Amino acid sequence: MAVDLKDATARDRIVADLDRNLLVQAGAGAGKTHALIGRMVEVVGTGREQVQHMAAITFTKKAAGEMRARFHAGLRSALSRAPESSPEQSRLLYAIDHVDQCYIGTIHAFCAKLLRERPLELGLPPGFSELEVREEWVSLREAWDAFVLDRYGAQDPRLDLFDSWGIRTDEFFDFFRRRSQFTELDLHWTEVPPADLMEPARIAADWVESVSAWIPDPLEERPDRLQEALLRTSHFLRNRGLQEERDARYLLSQLDLHSGSVVLKRWSPHQDKARELRDTGLPELVETTVRPALTRWRQAIYPEVAAFIDEAVESHRVRRFRAGTLTFQDLLEQAAQLLAENSRVRADLQNRYRSLFVDEFQDTDPLQAEILLYLTSEDPGVSDWRDCRPKPGSLFLVGDEKQAIYRFRRADLDVFRYVRDRVRSSGGDVLQLNTNFRSLTGICDWVNAGFEPIFGGFDPRYQATFAPLEPYREPQDETPSIMQITIDKVGGNDRTTIARQDANRIARYIAASIAGDDTISGAALSGPVSPADFMILTRTTGHLDTYAHALEALDIPFSIEGSGKLRESEELHDLIRLMECVLSPTNPIPLIAYLRGRFVGLGDDELAAFRSAGGQFDFRSDLPEDLQEQTATRFWHAFDILLAADRALQTEPVSVAFDRILEKLGTLPYATLRPMGSSRAGNLIRLGAIIRRWERAGWNWTESLQELQDLRDDPEYKLEEMTLDSGGGTSVRLMNLHQAKGLQARCVFLADPYDTSYERHDPDFHVSRSGSEPRLTLPVYRATGAHGKELISEPHGWDQDEEEEARFLDAEERRLVYVAATRAEDLLVVSKYAGNTEKGPWSELYPFLEGHAELPDPDIQVPSRASTEMPDFGAVEQDLKDRWTRARLRSYGTATITGEDERDVRRSDEEPVLGLGIEYGQLVHDVFERAIGGVLPDDASTYIETLFAREDQSENAPYALESLERFRSSELWSELQESRYVHTEVDFARAEDFMGQTQVTRGRVDLVYRVVGGWRIVDFKTDRTHSEAETQHLRSRYGDQVRAYAKHWTELSGERVRSAGLWATDPGVWIEI
């Protein structure tokens, strides 16, 4: 039954208004990519543009691959509906033939393509390469170190100045890194008069002296934060005092505390004094003395710091370009600069790319918007992208403000809105697609009821306008589509305990669903259920492992995305220690770490006994003779592993050595049997793949070890984990919210309800585009501890900009939750912590859970893994042999094209010989294939004579040369030269059902090439064909074979075969079948 869509008019306009620029605001599940593909196909089919003049920009490489496949499928679908011999059919056939000329990819790859065609216009090396994310970080680190070293070599006086402030140059690295993300913007700052810190510091020192006397002595408990600060600063003042500016800054920064730093019970018996300090004393000191002095000082030093960092950024740019390496940011900047400064190049590119299509435009980089407007501008001479107005029909954008969640990656809501206005100014329009094809009605209604007031509570400057989802899918039964998991009050509101309880609830429900447990029938998904039907989303990655443990305990396969925790793998650390032993065999430290580690597990008593017996901590040395036998055996095995690893690493490719080490240790099966075995083993497999990639890049094993050490030691070096089930589409998917964009599942859990860690991250930059010129406000922080940071310099006005940025981030946080809630198809489950309903990522959704049922908690038993008997290894080995034997048995029948009709096409003794034999025919096939492929030597006669002489066929060489000349002078040959797609000697195989068994049909097509309206299949025959009777004999003999070729080619390619037949080489005639 046809369903009337409320946005049907907008959907019709997408494929009808081809001469109008459109921005489509498509809600979650509205089929925005389908709409984009539909317009692309329509642009081709109507003849508005050819594919080589079109470009489609996507957000990721994966999305680009999917779009490419969908566009090709869309063209073929349109071709099947096009009238025979119509102009539309011809246009679609041409598009299919030339579909590879339509650019479909990421904006970065698109910019790289543009720059590679015109590198000299920008002074770029023609063979430049792009830096991947990790390579860019390494480049930044190396460039910073080189710049600082150069400044020391030049005796730059600013280094002494920084030192007088108590700031190390290395503490500027993070500022340098963040500054490098916005190199197209100028830093915003204002000159501030120098600030004196000594007088405020003296006031603070007197306060410290008077208050410290109230600290209980001895302290009965761990000191609170104020007590810690007082103890540190008192010690500092006694031993160092206020000698220079750096001392004053240190003292004041230690006292920049909030009132929550005072815990009354820890001041007993002086709680009254502590209450006074909490309520008035500390706040007064901080607000009137400490914070104003530090703020003025941080603002006064900012211009000096900013200038130093900008020099470093420019130094890095010169260094990169000289090395011929560009970052992703460089690609965008250079492409925008090329288009802005060279009107001739812009006009040329505008002529080439006449229709641009952009997906996920709400996440666009501002530089991408510049590039798009330059390429579509009506006036190629406009130099400012903000003045560009797109030519009608040249720009089609798809996006959704409500799903804009990548501000930290430079995406900007203001840019989205600005381009939207430019589309309207060009005579274009903005369309709304709100029909949701993904989620059931109950989910859509709940999302509308919950998020409309949440979005509406924000200033429109920072938040998207909410557009309700229009449900398409109606429920088939009374099963609820919104449910909740309530976690009761936990002592101390311990997040780990809360997450563990939540994870166990979710895992039990998933296990029961997969098993078809009747106890959850009222809340079960319909039909067959598999692990792939479930997705667990958390706000951050901190407790993904907790949910993975719960799933593993119930034998539920899972995959983890977005955690970036490969660096924490125990197996990685163990392998690094082993390789460090091989790298430095005389260094006892890595060897002892290896011997005490999981691979060997020696105790300190055994190590002491080894040393006392005269043993040397060098795996190449002999074992001491006096060592106890059992201990000696363990050392021998440990050293033998290292000797084998040494041989493998020194003599074989690093990937082979890695595999041999794992095999020698038995690490992979051992890891699989340990807790979280799927993740442990999957990480080892991923490490092997990464090492193979490094090997292809030319790295040796020591370079690979250095990179593995960096991975282990650098918290910024994040690689995704992998499980044995990753990528198979058969596992529960675990991920944080940012990874869920574009995904969906039948059942989605919004989990880890008391995760408040994301609230600790304050704004660390602000970009304002509200004025005539965009500006970047970027303070300077340095790390304090694992997660803390201290503000050490700031531009004037940062406090206001910080508040402004916080409003943008606060609004984006709600959009992030909206994205999470709209991933579910049939069931959305929200976890709620009853102990504190004001905190947590889903807390604003709690009021809308009232009246919705609690998710059933089935009684699922954890499978027992206890083993009481030693396995029969002989039986195991025999079982493996039997499995291999069965695996080698063919599970399918086979047939050849020549035997499809049960005829034997081989010549029988009674048949007349009509040619020069099979050997001659094979040689002629070889000659024809080389000629078609363009690799036949210019002196074809010499080649043919040599070829035939080698096969004792010299007397037949003249006939072959005549056959080639007849073929080259035929209409068939001329047609071949015009065809874009030509294939020779094409082997194929197709699986078909034959009497209940799979049968694989194989064949080889001599020649197939594209003609107008489809394909032509040619089968070469060297049989003599000099009479009508011989022609009929040939047609009768091979007709079924050629028809079978045509049938299978049609089914394999999905396109029709317009002509199929035989080319009789003697006398050179075409025989249509």
In order, the DSSP letters of 968-986 are: HTSHHHHHHHH-S-EEEEE
Question: In degrees, to the nearest 5, what angle opens at C-alpha 833 toward C-alphas 484 and 526?
Answer: 15
Type and span of the H or E element at 317? helix 291-323
CB 530 within 8 A of CB 514: yes
Joined together, the tokens standing for residue 995 give 């009497």
Q: Tell me which amino acid residue 595 is.
A: L
Residue 910's pLDDT is what? 39
In terms of Cβ atoms closer than 10 Å to its own Cβ (0-12, 13-18, 19+), residue 1060 is buried
CB under 8 Å to 738, separation ≥6 — which residues?
405, 406, 562, 816
**End-to-end Cα distance, the chain:** 44
Alpha-carbon distances of 871 from 832, 874, 880, 882, rounded to whole Å = 46, 9, 14, 17
Joined together, the tokens standing for residue 425 give 């100014």
How far is 974 from 359, CA to CA, in rounded Å? Answer: 42
Residue 287's pLDDT is what? 96
Which of 582, 592, 570, 594 has its CA nearest to residue 670?
A: 570
Residues in the chain: 1073
How far is 785 from 176, CA to CA, in rounded Å? Answer: 20
The CATH architecture one would assign to domain 894-1072 is Alpha-Beta Complex (3.90)
> What are phi and psi for residue 781, nearest 5 degrees?
-115, 155
Return the CATH number of the domain spanning residue range 566-713. Answer: 1.10.486.10
How far is 611 from 624, CA to CA, in rounded Å? Answer: 9
Tell me which residue has tokens 């080389």: 930
How far is 1006 from 897, CA to CA, in rounded Å? Answer: 13
How far is 584 from 617, CA to CA, in rounded Å? Answer: 11
Task: Give, as one character, the DSSP assignment of residue 290.
Answer: I
Residue 894's pLDDT is what? 62
Alpha-carbon distances of 211 from 221, 276, 289, rounded to whole Å = 19, 11, 16
Residue 522's pLDDT is what? 83
Question: In degrees, to the nearest 5, what angle opens at C-alpha 96 toward C-alphas 94 and 98?
Answer: 70
Q: Tell me which amino acid residue 203 is.
A: I
Peptide bond into 269 cis (omega under 30): yes
Residue 354's pLDDT is what? 95
The torsion of the CA quartet 967, 971, 972, 974, rounded to 10 degrees, works out to: 90
Phi-psi region of 450 (alpha: psi -120 to 50; beta: other; left: phi over 0): alpha
Residue 773's pLDDT is what? 85
Name which CATH class applies to 18-128+328-433: alpha beta
Domain limits of the chain? 18-128+328-433, 156-319, 566-713, 894-1072
How far is 580 from 593, CA to CA, in rounded Å? Answer: 10
Residue 566's pLDDT is what? 84
Type and span of the H or E element at 833? strand 824-833
Cβ-based neighbour number of residue 141 at 10 Å: 16
Classify each residue of 308-324 as buried b or exposed e, where b means 16 or more C-beta atoms within 10 Å of its C-beta.
bbeebbebbbeebbeee
Joined together, the tokens standing for residue 830 give 């929200």
Task: Give, as one character, the DSSP assignment of residue 622.
Answer: P
Residue 870's pLDDT is what? 61
Exposure of 440 in the CB half-sphere (CA atoms within 13 A)? 22
Q: In this predicted model, what pLDDT tens digit does every residue of 529-564 receive, in sequence order?
A: 999 999 999 999 889 999 999 999 999 999 988 777
Tell me which residue has tokens 């197996």: 571
Type and span of the H or E element at 1000? strand 997-1011
How far is 944 from 925, CA to CA, in rounded Å? Answer: 12
CB 746 within 8 A of CB 524: no
Residue 911's pLDDT is what? 41
Residue 786's pLDDT is what? 65
Cβ-based neighbour number of residue 373 at 10 Å: 25
Residue 914's pLDDT is what? 54
Which of 437, 404, 424 has its CA nearest to residue 34?
A: 437
Q: In this predicted model, what pLDDT tens digit does every residue of 32-44 receive, in sequence order?
A: 999 999 999 999 9
Cβ-based neighbour number of residue 475 at 10 Å: 15
- Residues facing residue 734 across a β-bridge: 536, 560
Q: In this predicted model, what pLDDT tens digit does every residue of 591-602 receive, in sequence order?
A: 999 999 888 999
Question: Chain centroid to CA 982: how far?
Answer: 36
Classify each residue of 259-274 as buried b or exposed e, where b means 16 or more C-beta atoms within 10 Å of its C-beta.
eebbbeebbeebeebb
CB under 8 Å to 240, separation ≥6 — which residues?
247
Classify each residue of 395-425 as buried b or exposed e, where b means 16 or more C-beta atoms within 10 Å of its C-beta.
bbbbbbbbbbbbbeebbbbbbbebbbebbee
**Which string of DSSP letters, residue by residue, matches 257-289?**
--GGG--GGGGTT-HHHHHHIIIIIHHHHIIII
Residue 1029's pLDDT is what? 87
Rounded CA Rg of the chain: 36
Give me the residues of the chain with pLDDT under 70, please. Answer: 1-3, 786, 864-871, 873, 876, 887-915, 994-997
CB under 8 Å to 826, separation ≥6 — which residues?
439, 440, 443, 479, 481, 525, 526, 746, 747
3-state per-residue secondary structure call for 771-821: CCCCEEECCEEEEECCCEEEEEECCCCHHHHHHHHHHHHHHHHHHHHHHHH
If DSSP codes are grouped into helix, strand and coil, which group holds residue 1011? strand
CB 831 within 8 A of CB 456: no
Phi-psi region of 1068 (alpha: psi -120 to 50; beta: other; left: phi over 0): left
Q: What are the start-end ranges of the H helices in 848-995?
A: 873-888, 918-933, 940-950, 957-968, 971-978
How far is 768 from 777, CA to CA, in rounded Å? Answer: 8
